[in-house]
């Protein structure tokens, strides 16, 4: 891994854990000091982050991108399509090992209580297991990019009361459709699941 790639990867991880937040001003010299590297690979990494839409040029300089309501809707529209496709492919191609992994994670998700951050982490693992079960490397690459952008969203929808319980039922229904090898139903349920997540997200971010 090149230094620029390492800075890029580590920067995204810091977005994930909210060390960098939407609207934060980003200066190359500060990033270079944080990662103890020269400015040249930092500039390369920041340029790539800007190309990916994770950083934006504002009147005050380069900043972590802030998503407005329209952009969040666009993001979830794409996520709905991709998650539906992943579940469809999983219903067609999942191995017994894949099914076992998804079931184990679904059970862990249901059993985790009173810790939204941990619930969100297990949720990501569940979706990642579906992506792996889809056995489509090109879809996986696109999903990885989308999840980088999701790091710009604050907190987790599992902080919304009742969201985890609803998601448990949705996960189990998706898994059941995958196990029954019903790609149409798996696709439909996954899309519905993401629409519910979108609505919870909009309620968190944009209360009128």
pLDDT tens, residue by residue, 71-97 = 999 999 999 999 999 999 999 999 999
Q: Where are the beta strands (DSSP E) in the chain?
A: 55-58, 61-64
- Short-list 124, 138, 133, 140, CA closest to 88: 133
pLDDT score, position 187: 98
The count of C-alpha atoms lying within 13 angstroms of the C-alpha of 60, restricted to the half-sphere facing its C-beta, is: 8
Burial group, residue 163, by CB count within 10 angstroms (0-12, 13-18, 19+): buried
Phi/psi class of residue 170: alpha, beta or left (left: φ > 0; alpha: ψ in -120 to 50)? Answer: alpha
Instruction: Give the bridge partners for 62, in sequence order.
Output: 57
Between the alpha carbon of residue 43 and those of residues 18, 96, 151, 204, the distances in Å are 21, 45, 21, 34
Q: Is the pLDDT of residue 30 over 60?
A: yes
- Topology (CATH) of 3-64: Arc Repressor Mutant, subunit A (1.10.10)
- Angle between helices 3-16 and 39-51 in degrees, nearest 10: 60
* pLDDT band of 31, cuts 50, 70, 90: very high
Please tell me the CATH superfamily of domain 69-205, with its number.
GntR ligand-binding domain-like (1.20.120.530)
Q: Is the pLDDT of residue 190 over 70?
A: yes
Whole-model pTM: value is 0.86
Q: Is the pLDDT of residue 208 over 60?
A: no
Q: How far apart are the first and last CA of the chain?
A: 45
Domain-by-domain residue ranges, the chain? 3-64, 69-205
């Amino acid at each position: 891994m090149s230094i620029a790639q390492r800075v890029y990867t580590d920067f995204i991880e810091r977005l994930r854990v909210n060390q960098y937040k939407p609207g934060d001003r980003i200066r190359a010299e500060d990033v270079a000091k944080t990662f103890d590297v020269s400015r040249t690979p930092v500039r390369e990494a920041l340029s790539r982050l800007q190309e990916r839409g994770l950083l934006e040029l504002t009147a005050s300089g380069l900043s972590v991108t802030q998503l407005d309501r329209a952009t969040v809707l666009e993001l979830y529209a794409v996520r709905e399509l991709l998650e539906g496709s992943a579940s469809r492919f999983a219903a067609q191609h999942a191995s017994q090992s894949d099914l076992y992994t998804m079931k184990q994670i679904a059970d862990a998700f249901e059993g985790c209580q009173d810790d939204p951050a941990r619930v969100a982490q297990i949720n990501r693992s569940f979706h990642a297991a579906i992506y792996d079960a889809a056995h489509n490397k090109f879809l996986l690459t696109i999903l990885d990019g989308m999840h980088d952008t999701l790091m710009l969203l604050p907190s987790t929808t599992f902080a919304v009361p009742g969201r985890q319980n609803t998601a448990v039922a949705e996960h189990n229904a998706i898994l059941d459709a995958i196990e029954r090898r019903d790609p149409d139903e798996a696709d439909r349920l996954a899309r519905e699941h993401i629409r519910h997540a979108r609505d919870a997200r909009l309620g968190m971010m944009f209360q009128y």
